[in-house]
Amino acid sequence: MCQRIDCESERIVTINGKTADLFSMKYKEEWKNGSVPENLFFGKDNYGDYMRVTFCADCGQIQSKFPISDNQLKVAMDKLDD
């Protein structure tokens, strides 16, 4: 069921992808490349090359815990290549 309180849809989609070290991420106008960050929801427990995102097909809400702290994002960016 969708985590968004006013949605509660059962139409939840999960997508998986393997990047083979071709992951890119932009945060605060800075782009970096490398392995998928393992400290963010889409890379957790996925061994660096894999990412997983779950979202609601009705409202578009990504199914994860938010907010993501500035520190978590900084750690993720610091682990990527310049």
What does DSSP assign to residue 6? Answer: T
| Interatomic CA distance for residues 70 and 76, integer angstroms | 10
State residue 10's pLDDT score.
97
pTM of the model: 0.80
Phi, psi of 32 (to 5 degrees): -140, 160
Q: pLDDT band for position 67 (50/70/90)?
A: very high
Beta bridge partners of 55: 13, 62
- Residue 82: its pLDDT value, please? 63
* Per-residue pLDDT tens over the stretch 16-62: 999 987 899 999 999 999 989 989 988 887 777 899 999 999 999 99
Q: Band of the pLDDT at 81, cuts 50, 70, 90?
A: confident
